[in-house]
Structure 1
Amino acid sequence: MESLKEILSRRRALVITPFAFAGIYALTSRKGDPPPPAVDVTIIPFDDHGNPQPATKTKRIVHTDAEWKKLLTPGQFYVTRRESTDTPYTGTMYKSHNRGLFRCICCSNAVFSSDAKFDSATGWPSFFAPIAKENIATRRDTSMMMDRIEVHCTLCLAHLGHVFDDGPEPTGLRYCINESSLRFVAL
């Protein structure tokens, strides 16, 4: 004969299982939000030699999910357009010390420089500052039951990663950035 504990455990599983499947379905079948409007934004362009150009006012780059999927690999799409996170220590940029620019994989906007890169021992490329404050945007992120600050590309709103207050001097910040959201240009 079954114990009361076994019966209650089985009932709990029967009650929870449909909700778990509903949650999985909702996450995997998400069609995506409609594209944001193509508003004017101001960025600081950088040439491929790392030289800043005058501030430029331009239209935000906007694509549908279908268009982004044609431009990006599945991993890049998932990280930049669905705000996912690369698995730590799976790329090569976190351990690279080559001199260069890090551009947004979606729109080529310069977002970080190797001059601000440091080894954070986290498995992600880390920087203590963006290449230009105009080139990134931040917002509060309360997903995953955490309170964090999310970092986006100003020009196309690609998810880049998160910023934390445990970085080195001179800023005390650590921009923890997904490799899938970056394209490195050597100087």
Structure 2
Amino acid sequence: MTNIPSIQQQVTNSNLTDDELYVMKHKGTERPFTSPFLEHETKPGFVGKYTCKNCDTLLYESSTMFDSGCGWPSFHTSAKGNLYPDIPNGHEIKGKSGKIGLKDNNIIQYVDNSLGMQRIEVCCLNCDSHLGHIFKGEGWEKILGKGKNDRYCINGISLNFKEEN
């Protein structure tokens, strides 16, 4: 197990709204079908990167977004990250919250036993802000034809979109 080096713990952007704070720092969930990023799933022309709204860390790329119909932005792969490059993906690490998780590029995956079920929570590796959950084994590799079977179900309120020209 490796501790993630950190200058500051759990930094919170002072420009976040109450709703953004509720989702990102209190593990809330935005209402389904309210994210403006849902139209990125179905309309061509949205090319860019999705970053953490709290700390601006790269999390996802538009090429990995797909329409799952679940009501939240969905991605099949996290963006290649350069935070802590000496720690390989899948390695057990201690996040800034003190919880043990698995590194996934610039994301940390935690076991979430809330709501009477086990899920995998995904948070920003840099600031530990709650993003959403990852669901595995739902059959998306056949539907998407990309060999990926993961669905990152992400609160759009946790993201910024940086368009690429």
**TM-score past 0.5 threshold:** yes
Extract unaligned runs of 5+ from structure 1: 1-37, 41-58
Say whether residues 1:180 and 2:153 are aligned partners: no
Structure with larger Rg: 1
Inter-partner Cα distance in structure 1 for 2:57 and 2:13:
19
Amino acid at match of 1:140: V
4+ residue segments displaced more than 4 Å:
none
Alignment of 1:60-79 (within 5 A): 61-63=8-10, 68=12, 70-79=14-23
Q: Is 1:114–2:62 an aligned residue pair?
A: yes
Distance verdict in 2 for CA 1:185–1:141, change over 3 Å: same
> 1:69, CA displacement in angstroms?
6.8
Alignment partner, residue 142 of structure 1:
113
The equivalent position to 2:52 in structure 1, one of 78, 90, 104, is: 104
**8 A Cα contact 1:95 1:119, kept in partner:** no
The question of 1:151 aligning with 2:98 is answered no
TM-score (norm 2): 0.72
Partner of 2:33: 89
Which has more strand, going by share of residues?
Answer: 2
What are the superposed Cα offsets for residues 24-81 of structure 1, whole Å, 9 maximum, x if unpaired? xxxxxxxxxxxxxx941xxxxxxxxxxxxxxxxxx365346xxx37331111100000
Bigger helix share: 1
Compared with structure 1, are the counterparts of its residues 110 and 167 closer, same or farther at alpha carbon in structure 2 (3 Å cutoff)?
Answer: farther
- Paired with 2:32 and 2:7, the residues of 1 have a C-alpha distance of 30
Q: Name the stretch that deviates more: 78-87 or 93-102.
A: 93-102
- Which deviates the most, 175-184 or 163-172? 163-172
Q: Residue 130 of structure 1 is aligned with which of 78, 87, 90?
A: 78
> Do the aligned partners of residues 61 and 122 (structure 1) sit closer, same or farther apart at CA in structure 2, a change above 3 Å counting?
farther
Q: Between the two proteins, what is the percent identity of the paired residues? A: 35
State the secondary structure of the residue aligned to 1:121.
coil
Structure 2 unaligned runs (5+)?
81-103, 142-146
CA RMSD, Structure 1 to Structure 2 (Å):
1.8
Q: Which has the higher contact order (CA 8 A, sep 6+)?
A: 2
